[in-house]
Chains A and B, each alone.
Chain A
Amino acid sequence: MNPSNEPLLDVRDLSVRYLTARGQVRAVDKVSFNVQPGEVVGLAGESGSGKSTIAHALLRILHPPAVITGGQALFEGRDIMAMDDPELEAFRWSKISIVFQSAMNALNPVMKIRDQITDVMLHHGVDKSEAAQRAVDLFDLVGIEPARLDAYPHQLSGGMRQRAVIAIALALKPPMLIMDEPTTALDVVVQKDILEQITELRKKLGFSILFITHDLSLLVEISTHISIMYAGDIVEKAPARELFENPKHPYTLGLMNSFPSISGAKQKLVGIPGSPPDLVAPPSGCKFHPRCAKAMPVCSQIAPVNRQLSADHSVACHLFDK
Chain B
Amino acid sequence: METNSLQNKNLLEVRGLCKEFPVGVFGGNRLVHAVEDANFSVKRGQVVALVGESGSGKTTTLRMIARLLPVTHGEIYFKGIDMLLVEPRQASLDYRRQVQYIFQDPFASLNAVHTIEHHLARPLLIHKLTHSNQETRERVCDLLETVELKPAEMIASRYPHQLSGGQRQRVAIARALAVDPELILADEPISMLDVSIRMGVLNLIQRLKEERGISFVYITHDLASARYIGDEIMVMYAGHMVEGGNSEAIMKEPAHPYTQLLLSAVPDPRAGLHTDRNAKARGEVPSLIDPPPGCPFAARCPRVLKICHQVMPRPARVSEGHWVRCNLFDPKG
Residues of A within 8 A of B261 (CB): 189
Q: What's the tally of chain A residues with a CB closer than 8 Å to chain B?
A: 42
Give B175 Cβ to nearest chain A Cβ, in Å: 19
Q: Are B269 and A264 in contact (CB under 8 A)?
A: no
Partner of B270, one of A193, A196, A264, A272: A264
Confirm or deny: A216 has a beta carbon within 8 angstroms of a beta carbon on chain B: yes
Confirm or deny: A214 has a beta carbon within 8 angstroms of a beta carbon on chain B: yes
Mask of A147-170 contacts with B, CB within 8 angstroms, 1/0: 000000000011100000000000
Mask of B252-264 contacts with A, CB within 8 angstroms, 1/0: 0000000001111
Confirm or deny: A218 has a beta carbon within 8 angstroms of a beta carbon on chain B: yes
Give A245 Cβ to nearest chain B Cβ, in Å: 9
Q: Are B263 and A262 in contact (CB under 8 A)?
A: yes
Q: Are A258 and B198 in contact (CB under 8 A)?
A: yes
Q: Are B196 and A260 in contact (CB under 8 A)?
A: no
Give B249 Cβ to nearest chain A Cβ, in Å: 13
Mask of B270-297 contacts with A, CB within 8 angstroms, 1/0: 1101010000011011000000000000
From B163, which residue of chain A is reached at the shortest CB distance? A275
Give B237 Cβ to nearest chain A Cβ, in Å: 10
Confirm or deny: A181 has a beta carbon within 8 angstroms of a beta carbon on chain B: no
Partner of A266, one of B228, B262, B265, B284: B228
Give B225 Cβ to nearest chain A Cβ, in Å: 6
Residues of A within 8 A of B265 (CB): 188-189, 191-192
Given contacts A264-B271, A275-B197, could you give 14 more A-B pairs where the C-beta distance is less than 8 Å?
Answer: A190-B284, A214-B194, A217-B267, A217-B269, A221-B269, A258-B196, A259-B224, A260-B199, A260-B228, A266-B248, A271-B196, A275-B166, A275-B167, A276-B164
A-B contacts, 30 of them at CB < 8 A, read A46-B195, A157-B284, A158-B284, A187-B54, A188-B223, A188-B266, A189-B53, A189-B261, A189-B265, A191-B265, A214-B194, A217-B268, A244-B269, A254-B196, A258-B195, A260-B199, A260-B224, A260-B227, A261-B268, A262-B224, A262-B227, A262-B251, A263-B268, A264-B271, A266-B248, A270-B200, A270-B203, A271-B199, A272-B197, A274-B197
Give A residues with C-beta under 8 Å from B. Answer: 46-47, 157-159, 187-193, 196, 214-218, 220-221, 244, 254-255, 257-264, 266, 268-276, 291
